A and B are shown apart, each in its own frame.
Chain A
Amino acid sequence: MSGESKRQAARERIAAKRAAEAAAAAAAARRRRVVLGGVAAAVVLVVVLIVVVVVQTGRTSTSADAAAPGNTTGNGYVFAVGSADAPVTLDLYEDFQCPNCKSLEDRAGSTIEELVADGTVQVHYHGMAFLDTDANDDYSTRALNAAAVVADEAGADAYEEFHDLLFANQPDEGGSGLTDDQLVDYATQAGATGTDVAVDIRNLVYGEWVEKAEDQASKDGVTGTPTVFVDGDQLASDQLTADGIAAAVQAAQG
């Protein structure tokens, strides 16, 4: 091999080495960029997370001095009907727009009222409002607000009366809901005749209380309507009949 070709080979080796070093440096620089970019993105994500959580927490905290109806029992979201000495408590969670609640009322309402009348059961009515739509003009909320107005004005027994009227005259789901005028009429029939009743129904005076009632139901572990508890034990859906409820009350007395 000539001296010239040796030098040529050496030059090529040096060039190859330099190219490899350059490639390694470029790869290292790229890794650095990726790591820096990843860290920056992670920091931005954490900051946005914290800001959003704080903002949304602020949006969901309701004011403590929101108007609440009178004649409630317990935590302020319960309307109790029947003797406080009754041996069995029946908790009933319903939405006035819920068709399955209406069918429960149609099937078992009179049985529940008999159990209340003979002193066996105290019913705790818990209103819920999660079936608001644009089409029904937030009927669930308007109906529960109206029911709270009735209770505040005329007591828990009037609440039950109004509750029965609203389920008997429940508007179609997907329809337009009852009007405020109709709610005022039913409130009058249920015995809430004060001068403020119509105003309070139209002005959603307990609107914020309705939202809090909805939150309370969610905290109570209620995830659907109708939900019925007999002395704290939730009934299965196949027990939601007149006979099923009567049997569960009987067993609770046992």
Chain B
Amino acid sequence: MTGAGPWLATAARALLGVVFVVAGALKVPDPAAAVRAVRAYQLVPEPLVGPLAFGLPVVEIAVGLALLAGVFLRTAAVAAAVLLAVFIAAISSAWARGLQIDCGCFGGGGQVDAGRTAYPAEVARDGALLLVALALARRPASRLALGGHPHDQIQHAETEHADVR
């Protein structure tokens, strides 16, 4: 546990944690908009639109808080990576199908005026975050984490990871 690695992991946790908590929290105040944002992708059947629109922010906030606190780090980093991969796939699919939607990544979402889509920027942003999440999942040992002694963390995290799988 020497060198800059653990501090880089801490920075990665802070970045991902803040992004996930903010992205989740912004979707809570206007549930009707969240529903429209999910429906606009035209990927899930209508009965699942509501539960997904309301449940996703909870998962995002939970993952974000775990990353910020430094508990269940590898599990949280893997979950963040999985979420980001799903987001990228959904946005890319909307792009490929020629839908005119905002990703709704930070609340809002749904319809936008023709020509106001921002798919390349949205995919690039989520792709960069995905790389950070994957790096963190590979080396979760970091400073300022609640989840046990830093030296033990790699073992800890591996155990957690195995449980989840």
Contacts and interface: CB of A to CB of B under 8 A. Distances in A.
A196 to B, nearest CB: 28
Contacts of A98: 113
Contacts of B58: 45, 48-49, 52
Q: Is the interface of B mostly helix, strand, loop or mixed?
A: helix
Nearest to B51: A53
Contacts of A60: 31-32, 35, 50
B62 interface: yes
Interface residues of A, number: 34
Interface in B80-139: 99-101, 110-115
A221 B42 contact: yes
Contacts of B32: 59-60, 211, 214-215
A52 B55 contact: yes
Interface of B: 28, 31-32, 34-36, 39-40, 42, 46, 50-51, 53-55, 57-59, 62, 66, 71-72, 75, 99-101, 110-115, 148, 152, 156, 159-160, 163-164
Given A214-B32, A218-B110, 19 more contacts: A31-B159, A41-B66, A41-B71, A41-B72, A45-B58, A49-B58, A52-B55, A53-B54, A53-B55, A59-B31, A60-B50, A211-B32, A214-B36, A223-B42, A223-B100, A224-B99, A224-B112, A225-B111, A226-B114
30 contacts: A30-B148, A34-B156, A34-B160, A34-B163, A35-B163, A37-B71, A38-B163, A41-B72, A45-B59, A48-B62, A49-B59, A52-B54, A53-B55, A56-B28, A56-B34, A56-B53, A60-B31, A60-B50, A98-B113, A215-B32, A218-B111, A223-B100, A223-B101, A224-B99, A224-B111, A224-B114, A225-B111, A225-B113, A225-B114, A237-B114
